Amino acid sequence: MSVKILAINGSPRKSGTQYALEYALKAAAEIDGVETELINLRGKELNFCVHCNRCIKDNVLHCPAFDDVMSEIYPKILEADGLIIGSPVYQMSPNAQTTAFFNRLRPLGKLIATGKFGLKVGAGITVGGARNGGQDTTLEGIGNMLLASGYIVASGGVYAYNGGSLWAQGANLDGAKNDEVGLNTVSMIGHRIAVLAKVLKVGAEHTDYPEYQHAGFISEEEITARRNAFKRG
Ligand SMILES: Cc1cc2nc3c(=O)[nH]c(=O)nc-3n(C[C@H](O)[C@H](O)[C@H](O)COP(=O)(O)O)c2cc1C
């Protein structure tokens, strides 16, 4: 049984967030049968969602408006069992690239109700320049975006509450590398997301719930009824 853990790095720099994600993926890979991949958004074309709704009207799993880094990411998101999102803290929040990435997942949104994301697990990792510079609020933002994308969000329990967070100590990469306490939260998240992804996959193979039940629906008719009710407002 193998699982794939994908990490997305929203930082425009090769610095603390990339280091943290590599650290988390190393911990994830310690679990037997775990494959990992890191995608850096840095230096790649990433457009904003323009809400043209063509992905919905055309019923496609890619963005008809832009052929950019997301074209390579959509199939990887569908394939991955776990998703780790790394964002630097910008104004106590996830940065623009990370938010744009999540907004651009809209073409896959139609699969949330079908249960495609119902057993996928997600987690956030963040790096801030200040010790208490908004790591928690940034992780909350990432967690909310994962929830809205259909993921189960992994906490790190009492040692890494709502995700992995580093204090770059103003010194950027070196500061992040020296934040021992923070690095423990990062490896805990990497380890935990891998274990959870694996247990969920094994569990799914040993139960016979149709996929839509992973999303909380009891029948396919219920999905259609909910969609129609949503359209009516
Ligand atoms: C536009 C901008 C806003 C920032 N806002 C915050 C902030 O609110 N709190 C904080 O602790 N650090 C803030 N920082 C510092 C970054 O979080 C810090 O440098 C971090 O190491 C960046 O991650 P990276 O090393 O992966 O690029 C900000 C940096 C920038 C460029």
Q: What is the pLDDT of residue 171?
A: 84
Query: Ligand 1: does its nearest atom lie under 6 Å from the Cβ of 101?
Result: no
What confidence tens digit (pLDDT) does each residue in 185-202 have?
999 999 999 999 999 999
Rounded CA-CA distance 62/59 in Å is 9
What confidence tens digit (pLDDT) does each residue in 150-176 have?
999 999 999 999 999 999 999 889 999
What confidence tens digit (pLDDT) does each residue in 28-43 have?
999 999 999 999 999 9
Query: Ligand 1: does its nearest atom lie under 6 Å from the Cβ of 169?
Result: no
Query: Ligand 1: does its nearest atom lie under 6 Å from the Cβ of 134?
Result: yes
Rounded CA-CA distance 79/99 in Å is 21
Looking up residue 120, the CATH number of its domain turns out to be 3.40.50.360
Q: Which amino acid is at 219?
A: S
* Minimum-distance ligand 1 atom for the alpha carbon of 131: 11
CA of 64 to the centre of ligand 1 (A): 33
Q: What is the pLDDT of residue 231?
A: 83
Q: What is the pLDDT of residue 233?
A: 76
Q: Which residues contact 40 (CB under 8 A, 6 or more apart)?
A: 9, 11, 14, 18
Q: What is the pLDDT of residue 25?
A: 98
Task: Identify the domain containing residue 90 by its residue range.
Answer: 3-232
Q: What is the pLDDT of residue 232?
A: 85
CA of 89 to the centre of ligand 1 (A): 5
pLDDT-flagged residues of the chain (< 70):
none
Q: Per the structure, how many domains does the chain have?
A: 1
- Model-wide pTM > 0.95: yes
CA of 10 to the centre of ligand 1 (A): 12
DSSP string, the chain: --EEEEEEE--SSSSHHHHHHHHHHHHHHTSTTEEEEEEE-TTS--PPP----HHHHTT-SS-SS--SHHHHHHHHHHH-SEEEEEEEEETTEE-HHHHHHHHTTGGGGGGTTTTTTTT-EEEEEEEESSTTSSHHHHHHHHHHHHHHTTPEEPPBGGGBTTSEEEE-TTSTHHHHHH-HHHHHHHHHHHHHHHHHHHHHHHHHHT----HHHHTT-S-HHHHHHHHHHHHH-
CA 99 to each of CA 144, 199, 213: distance values in angstroms, whole numbers, following the listed order: 11, 29, 28
